[in-house]
Chains A and B, each alone.
Chain A
Amino acid sequence: MSDLAVEVRGLVKRYGDVEAVRGIDLDVSARETFGFLGPNGAGKSTTISMLCTLVTPDDGTARVAGHDVVAQRNDVRRNIGLVFQEPTLDGYLTAEQNLRFHAELYGVPKALVPARMQLVLEMVGLWERRGSLVSTYSGGMKRRLEIARGLLHAPRVLFLDEPTVGLDPQTRASIWSYIETLKQQEDITIFLTTHYMDEAEHCDRIAIIDQGRIIALDTPEALKASVGKDRVQLQVDDAGAAIEALGERFGLEATIAEGHVTVAVSGGEAFVPRLFAELGVPIRGVSVARPSLDDVFMSYTGTTIRDAEAGRQDPMLAMMRGRR
């Protein structure tokens, strides 16, 4: 058996006339952290649902942990952990009871359950609260408990569908620190989806998905390098003069973004001394930023994630409208 954790060939899913996933090929190695990045409605969740055996593909094949997601559904299920976007906890049970239920459902050997439970609950910082009813938990605590539960049966592949969506920045950061710990402590492959650019940087490799297709797949560094240019922002008193001067002296097209004059330059640091020497317009401050995945997404799709989401409907919604 190969040591590929996820192996996808030509995967397709249609909802009525809408092709939500239009032929995806993908390999994820064991112990890799792989991110699926794209706007809402790009096909991320549909793909993950197919990999988790919840949705049957219309075409193509997918193997997870060495098992076919259609023919060997139960074998796939034994080997994966899932954390969904929506909560799937029983609020009327305590955290501990939720985990016990899960352990039994997955057949975790009885002797291992207490140690395993303590390990995962401590990892997400909920060990002290294990006796509380889940309905008394905050949103962030619930998400952490879901992650703990997804790990309880030591899955070979952990799927995290938008693990931090709807959480405050502090909780998001703490969830990422658990995921980082997890990568080091467990022999596990993590497959996650996100539409936050900054979160995608935690991944070993990223696939950028848009309109049901993978449009780029590489390490975050390589993707950013492919964009090549740094973002240089200038604080000036006379923005108009600065933009004009940038055009005349350097042949650069500057815009105003976030209230600052902004230009994209390759080798941003080296550009700064020339800027001061040659611009001829007083500069109060300069910042240089490496290209972010936001820039990457933009360079591949010509639009930002935010604009892509605003301009496009969810395929499910589109389908429902089409039916009316």
Chain B
Amino acid sequence: MTSTSTAPVGAAPVAAPPGAPVRVVVPPGGIRADLRGIKVVWQRELIRFWRDKLRIVTSLVQPLIFLFVLGGGLSRLASGGTQGVDLRTFMYPGALAMAVLFTAMFSAASVVWDREYGFLREMLVAPVRRGAIVLGKCLGGATVAAFQGLLVMALAPLVHVPYSAVLVLEVLALQLLLAFMITAFGVMCAARITQMQAFMALMQMLVMPLLFLSGALFPLSGLPRWLEVLNRLDPLTYAVNPIRSAVFDRIDLTTAARAALLPGITWFGWHVPIAVQVVVVIGCSLAMLSVAIMEFRSA
């Protein structure tokens, strides 16, 4: 085969134009490439979140409505059942979880968005493992959602919860975990969905029931049997309960109130320690992350 030269006919070989950089050598893959991939996808998530100020505001609306409108409105009805505790105080940990929930879901939705607008392709053809891209996405979603959670955290005094650095850190850590789990869940669902409407509909269908079942808005004591079973199967339960426990540790509660409002989680009569609950959340997150990665590998 005759090779055809691209040099212009009759011209000397083209000299490197001034300012042309030396040859770029793209390094081979490996752990460093993957870390880079994770970092850059994570960073993009943050840049996009920050640029979309409207989203920051709108994601706050839902938890605030639940907390102050629903909580405020229902507080007189519920006063008998809350053992003298303000219903808003009771619902506050639920609102902390909600803020995270919706933001994390939106982050996961951006996978569908990226697919629709083609950007997903740019990421999938890069010399970086798919797992790194998915992990970066989930970490990004977790970060922005936890930030959103912090904003709700700032409202603590309005619902009679005193600030403390330890409380903020504890809750932040739990919110990060919760947010990571939700983003992984969302990305897992988004892997096969090509249309935004379909994804949003699916999320509506799944997220609200998961939220309600988790006990974010009602105490877990004295539930009907079927509701109790569903509650224990809902992974959100194991994130919401530790958040509530952390908040309730900081307020004065009578023993009776504590028993009624924070009965803890039992498995067949066994009291599940908070540490185990956290392990459940981590386990679910990793399982969903793995499924998401597998789906993207074959995509």
Alpha-carbon gap, A85 to B297, bound state (A): 23
Cβ-based interface call for B81 (8 A): no
Cβ-based interface call for A119 (8 A): yes
Knowing A87-B117, A105-B40, the reply to whether A54 touches B125 (Cβ < 8 A) is yes
Contact B47 A97 (CB under 8 A): yes
Contact A204 B33 (CB under 8 A): no
| Residue in chain B with minimal CB distance to A152 | B24
Knowing A77-B125, A88-B121, the reply to whether A107 touches B14 (Cβ < 8 A) is no
Cβ-based interface call for B126 (8 A): yes
Cβ-based interface call for B28 (8 A): yes
Contact B1 A93 (CB under 8 A): no
Knowing A93-B48, A184-B14, the reply to whether A108 touches B26 (Cβ < 8 A) is yes
Cβ-based interface call for A53 (8 A): yes
What are the residues of chain B within 8 A of A116 when measuring CB–CB?
Answer: 21, 24
What are the residues of chain B within 8 A of A105 when measuring CB–CB?
Answer: 36-37, 40, 122-123, 126-128
What are the residues of chain A within 8 A of B126 when measuring CB–CB?
Answer: 77, 102, 105-106
Alpha-carbon gap, A116 to B19, bound state (A): 9
Contact A74 B21 (CB under 8 A): no
Name A93-130 residues within 8 Å CB distance of B. Answer: 93, 97, 101-102, 104-109, 112, 115-116, 118-119
Alpha-carbon gap, A107 to B40, bound state (A): 10
Cβ-based interface call for A154 (8 A): yes
The distance from the CB of B240 to the nearest CB of chain A, in whole angstroms, is 32
Cβ-based interface call for B53 (8 A): no
Alpha-carbon gap, A164 to B104, bound state (A): 38
Contact B20 A104 (CB under 8 A): no
Cβ-based interface call for B118 (8 A): yes
Alpha-carbon gap, A93 to B43, bound state (A): 12
**Binary flags per residue of B96-125, CB closer than 8 Å to A gives 1, else 0:** 000000000000000000100111011111
Contact B21 A31 (CB under 8 A): no
Alpha-carbon gap, A108 to B22, bound state (A): 12
The distance from the CB of B5 to the nearest CB of chain A, in whole angstroms, is 7
Contact A107 B4 (CB under 8 A): no
Contact B26 A89 (CB under 8 A): no
What are the residues of chain A within 8 A of B52 when measuring CB–CB?
Answer: 92
The distance from the CB of B7 to the nearest CB of chain A, in whole angstroms, is 8
Contact A204 B127 (CB under 8 A): no
Residues of chain B at interface, number, CB under 8 A = 45
Alpha-carbon gap, A78 to B43, bound state (A): 22
Number of A-B contacts (CB under 8 A): 120
Alpha-carbon gap, A74 to B52, bound state (A): 34
Residues of chain A at interface, number, CB under 8 A = 48
What are the residues of chain A within 8 A of B19 when measuring CB–CB?
Answer: 115, 118-119
Contact A31 B118 (CB under 8 A): no
What are the residues of chain A within 8 A of B24 when measuring CB–CB?
Answer: 108-109, 112, 116, 153-154
Contact A104 B39 (CB under 8 A): yes
Residue of B3, B47, B121, B123 touching A32 (CB-CB under 8 A): B3
| Residue in chain A with minimal CB distance to B33 | A107
**What secondary structure prevails in chain B residues at the interface with A?**
loop
Cβ-based interface call for A290 (8 A): no
Alpha-carbon gap, A105 to B39, bound state (A): 9
What are the residues of chain B within 8 A of A93 when measuring CB–CB?
Answer: 44, 47-48
Cβ-based interface call for B27 (8 A): yes
| Residue in chain B with minimal CB distance to A77 | B127
Contact B26 A153 (CB under 8 A): yes
What are the residues of chain A within 8 A of B17 when measuring CB–CB?
Answer: 185
Name A240-277 residues within 8 Å CB distance of B. Answer: none
Contact B3 A89 (CB under 8 A): no
Knowing A104-B36, A183-B6, the reply to whether A88 touches B47 (Cβ < 8 A) is no
Contact B29 A74 (CB under 8 A): yes
Alpha-carbon gap, A27 to B27, bound state (A): 26
Among B5, B19, B24, B114, residue most surrounded by chain A Cβ atoms (within 10 Å): B24
What are the residues of chain B within 8 A of A29 when measuring CB–CB?
Answer: 1, 3-4
Alpha-carbon gap, A118 to B18, bound state (A): 13
**Binary flags per residue of B128-161, CB closer than 8 Å to A gives 1, else 0:** 1000000000000000000000000000000000
Contact B118 A32 (CB under 8 A): no
Cβ-based interface call for A205 (8 A): yes
What are the residues of chain A within 8 A of B39 when measuring CB–CB?
Answer: 104
Contact B6 A104 (CB under 8 A): no
Q: Other CB < 8 Å A-B pairs besides A33-B6, A53-B125, 8 of them?
A: A77-B127, A88-B117, A88-B122, A89-B117, A90-B114, A90-B117, A92-B48, A184-B7
Partner-B contacts on A (CB < 8 A): 3, 27, 29-33, 52-54, 74-75, 77-79, 82, 84, 86-93, 97, 101-102, 104-109, 112, 115-116, 118-119, 153-154, 183-185, 187, 204-205, 219
- 30 A/B residue pairs, CB under 8 Å, sorted by A: A27-B1, A29-B1, A30-B3, A54-B125, A74-B28, A74-B29, A75-B127, A77-B127, A82-B125, A84-B118, A89-B119, A90-B48, A90-B114, A90-B122, A91-B117, A102-B126, A104-B39, A105-B123, A105-B126, A106-B126, A107-B32, A108-B24, A109-B24, A116-B21, A119-B19, A119-B21, A154-B23, A204-B4, A204-B6, A219-B4
Which 8 residue pairs spanning A and B have beta carbons closest together?
A29-B3, A154-B24, A88-B118, A77-B127, A204-B4, A104-B40, A78-B26, A105-B126
Partner-A contacts on B (CB < 8 A): 1, 3-8, 14, 16-17, 19-29, 32-33, 36-37, 39-40, 43-44, 47-48, 51-52, 114, 117-119, 121-128
